[in-house]
Amino acid sequence: MRSVGILSICVSLTVLGLAGAATAQSSADMSFFVTSTGSGKGADLGGLAGADQICQMRAQAAGAGGKTWRAYLSTQGAGAVNARDRIGSGPWANAKGIVIAKDVAELHGQNNISKATALTETGATVNGRGDSPNTHDMLTGSQPDGTAFPPGEDRTCDNWTQSGAGSAMLGHHDRQGLGTDAASMSWNSSHPSRGCSPDGLKSTGSAGLFYCFAVK
């Protein structure tokens, strides 16, 4: 009986070890995630550099810090940056190894982004429409094709430096909204926020989260 017990313990430890190795491998292979937390200052991410740093730190904590990570965010005005031009060429897979898009064209076309696949760096599901609280609004500042908005009406909370007045374009990671129109189901360009502060973002279903992609 004692031998059987020892064998059972050894088998259990082996299974746990294999599961841990698989998880570590999956994290190392991850190339896309939704940040598990925001900056703590609403849409003030410290500009693109600050947002990229958040992506890198989240990836590092999840065991995928060996890659260069970029935030999927656009800016406006002089020297405007397109989110689609910042993220490499793909393919991109989540923390569970599921590919969400093979390249930039597919990402902005028929991609595989949904509530089930737009996971955090730890592989956790992000609350969507119908959950409490609803945090399905992702900061993007982008048009549907991943390009920047023209100068004028603020769609980037002053290029991700504002935590008060202003507005940011948001996307629905769960592809659900008030209707079945393209905007409601858009992962990257659904509607603008009511402000840039944590409370302003919260009022439109956002926790200040955003997408991170590994540059290949």
Is residue 17 a part of any domain in this protein? no
Strands (E), 43-172: 68-71, 92-93, 99-101, 137-139, 169-172
pLDDT in tens, 20-31: 444 444 577 899
Q: Does residue 16 sit within a domain?
A: no
Q: Confirm whether 13 is domain-assigned.
A: no
Cβ count near 215 (within 10 Å): 13
Question: Is residue 20 one of the residues assigned to a domain?
Answer: no
Q: What SS3 class is residue 99?
A: strand
Please give the model's pTM, rounded to 2 decimal places: 0.88
Residue 4 lies in a domain: no
Residue 175, domain extent: 26-215
Instruction: With respect to residue 50, please indicate whether it lies within any of the assigned structural domains.
Output: yes
Q: What is the per-residue pLDDT across 75-100, written as a single tens digit (0 to 9) for each?
A: 999 999 999 999 999 999 999 999 99
Total structural domains in the chain?
1
Residues 27/63/81/174 CA torsion (nearest 10 deg): 40
Residue 199 sits in a domain whose CATH number is 3.10.100.10
pLDDT of res. 26: 57
For residue 118, which of 103, 99, 134, 132 has the smallest C-alpha distance?
99
